[in-house]
Amino acid sequence: MFAGTAGLLKKAQRRLWMKYALRGVGGSDNHARLDMAYRMEDPWNMDSAMERTRFEATNRVIEQAFGRVGSVLEIGCGEGHQTEYLARLSDEQYGLDVSAHAVARAQARLPRAHFAAADLFHQPWGEQRHRFDLVTACEVLYYLSDPAATVARMRHLGRNGLVTFFAPACGRIGPHVEDIPGVRKDWIHHGATAWLIAWWRDD
């Protein structure tokens, strides 16, 4: 009984905090607000069955489409929850997040991975074309003011690319994904929640 009550209280606390922290965040590159969200640990509830479903489905697509990859650059790595899954099928992991709070927790979670508190246009690991075998942006594009520029940057830095986003964002984000030559798409489902997953090769 007490455990159930504590869980409900934590859920309510997270919901109220995120409603406050994410005010004005969508499509705005509001790095300060995104960093504010991470003053609470796991603000997006990434350690949930729903998110684990998404992580596992994403890994299946990566394995089927690309096999094991040498290096992966994860945009919006947060606290490293999905990085742990990407580490199962890659030799080197690089993670970016605009939140220093999140990056510190990610580094503690995966000490051997490389993390930086930066956006994609200021990442510290080299500018050469196809620097990484795979670049991912999972649940990130709808926070950005210029998704097209981000996708173009992903395609420059990565031999292969993959994005996921919540189904209601298809109207805004979908056209930018459709413009990628040879892009492939599928759906991930967990109960009534759906995400579009899209991936491509640029090598």
> 3-7, 77-81, 197-201: lowest mean pLDDT where?
3-7
Q: What is the pLDDT of residue 144?
A: 95
Q: Which of 192, 202, 186 is nearest to 57 (CA)?
A: 186
> 17-21, 46-50, 87-91, 134-138: lowest mean pLDDT where?
17-21
Helix locations, 38-179, DSSP H = 49-66, 81-86, 100-109, 147-157, 170-178
pLDDT tens, position by position, 114-145: 999 999 999 999 999 999 999 999 999 999 99
Helix locations, the chain, DSSP H = 2-21, 31-37, 49-66, 81-86, 100-109, 147-157, 170-178
Q: What is the pLDDT of residue 67?
A: 98
For the segment 163-178, the average pLDDT, to the nearest whole number, is 96
Residue 52 CA, chain-centre distance (Å), reads 13
For 132, residues 6+ apart whose C-beta sits below 8 A from its C-beta are 71, 72, 73, 94, 157, 158, 159
Mean pLDDT, the chain, as a whole number? 94
Please state the pTM of the whole predicted model: 0.94
Instruction: List Cα–Cα distances, 56 to 105, 134, 180, in angstroms.
Output: 21, 17, 24
